[in-house]
Amino acid sequence: MGKNIISQRRGKGSQTFESHGLRFKGEAKMMEASDAVVMDIVHCAGHSAPLLALYYDTGASSYVIAPEGIRVGDKLDFSNEAKLEFGNVLKLKNVPEGISVFNIEARPNDGGKFIRSTGASARVVSKNEKFVTIEFPSRKQKKFNPECRAMIGVVAGGGRVEKPFYKAGNKFYAMKARNKYWPIVSASAMNAVAHPFGNKRTLRKSKAKPAPKNAPPGRLVGLIRPRRTGRKK
């Protein structure tokens, strides 16, 4: 008897594909305050960038994405009069054009959603009363509400992906920490019990065939099924 393919098994949320959230430090988001002090710089398996443990003037504490060049004991300014220094938080309407920003909010006061991976930064391209245009590292441009906040500078940890893994075991543990599907095995290389495209051990192992007409969404892989077959009369 056959099994569900990988995409179907991942969607069920089985134990093999569970999130490792219990190992994560916590959510990294900006809070509303006037200033904060960097208490520590920590590593979190759920984030590619280092995190800052902040203590706010309101008495609250949280984690945020760390900028390049920050140190323990530095103070970050969250007020509207903040200077253009690494780590300070400003509304996009107060950021001059051409300045590098990261951890940009999708909606005002949501804590930051965009540009949060190591070494990443975006650039303010243009501004008007209705929206602020930001250019992403991919050169794509997106318009934001001028009331959305962003952090000044570049995300710390740049160059992290430049070092090779050297061993498959290191790659295995790195992917396991992020709950990523690895190694990726071709469907045609599997046995018949593991995938519909799997087959017996022959010169051509694959048994690729079009998905049936009534196939569920997780089964719609492989060749495109023709609308009709046979000679048209």
* pTM for this entry: 0.74
Flag whether 213 is in a domain.
Answer: yes
Q: Is a pLDDT exceeding 60 seen at residue 1? A: no
Q: What distance in Å separates the CA atoms of residue 170 and residue 175, rounded to the nearest whole number?
A: 9
124: three-class secondary structure by DSSP:
strand
Q: pLDDT-derived band of residue 171, with 50, 70 and 90 as boundaries? A: very high
* 110 and 171 fall within a common domain: no
* 141 and 88 fall within a common domain: yes
* 167 and 201 fall within a common domain: yes
Flag whether 4 is in a domain.
Answer: no
**Domain boundary, last residue among 127, 161, 195:** 161
Flag whether 15 is in a domain.
Answer: no
From residue 185, give the alpha-carbon distance in Å to each of 3, 5, 173, 192, 195.
15, 12, 17, 14, 11
The pLDDT assigned to 12 comes to: 66
* 26 and 76 fall within a common domain: yes
Flag whether 54 is in a domain.
Answer: yes
Task: Note the pLDDT tens digit of each residue in 136-155.
Answer: 999 999 999 999 999 999 99
Flag whether 143 is in a domain.
Answer: yes
Q: Is a pLDDT exceeding 70 seen at residue 2? A: no
**Domain boundary, last residue among 161, 176, 209:** 161
Task: Note the pLDDT tens digit of each residue in 107-125.
Answer: 999 999 999 999 999 999 9
Long-range contacts of 166-170 (CB under 8 A, 24+ apart): none
Taking alpha carbons only, the member of 217, 216, 218, 198 closest to residue 208 is: 198
Alpha helices by DSSP H, the chain: 6-12, 168-177
**Domain boundary, last residue among 114, 134, 161:** 161
The pLDDT assigned to 202 comes to: 64
* 45 and 130 fall within a common domain: yes
Q: pLDDT-derived band of residue 203, with 50, 70 and 90 as boundaries? A: low
Flag whether 227 is in a domain.
Answer: no
Contact 63, 52 (CB under 8 A): yes
Flag whether 89 is in a domain.
Answer: yes
Q: pLDDT-derived band of residue 22, with 50, 70 and 90 as boundaries? A: confident
The pLDDT assigned to 200 comes to: 75
Q: Are strands 122-127 and 141-144 parallel, antiparallel or unpaired?
A: unpaired
* 74 and 146 fall within a common domain: yes
Give the count of domains, the chain: 2
Q: pLDDT-derived band of residue 211, with 50, 70 and 90 as boundaries? A: confident
Task: Note the pLDDT tens digit of each residue in 48-107.
Answer: 899 999 999 888 999 999 999 999 999 999 988 889 999 999 999 999 999 999 999 999
Q: What is the CATH number of the domain that holds 72?
A: 2.30.30.30
* 157 and 167 fall within a common domain: no
* 150 and 192 fall within a common domain: no
* 35 and 139 fall within a common domain: yes
Residue burial 138-165, b: 16+ Cβ < 10 Å; e: rest: eeeeeebebebbbbbbbbbbeeeeeeee
- How much of the chain, in percent, has pLDDT values that exceed 90? 53
* 122 and 206 fall within a common domain: no
Compute the mean pLDDT over every residue in the chain, rounded to the nearest whole number. 87
Flag whether 134 is in a domain.
Answer: yes
Q: Is a pLDDT exceeding 70 seen at residue 182? A: yes
* 96 and 113 fall within a common domain: yes
* 192 and 86 fall within a common domain: no
Domain housing 185 = 163-219
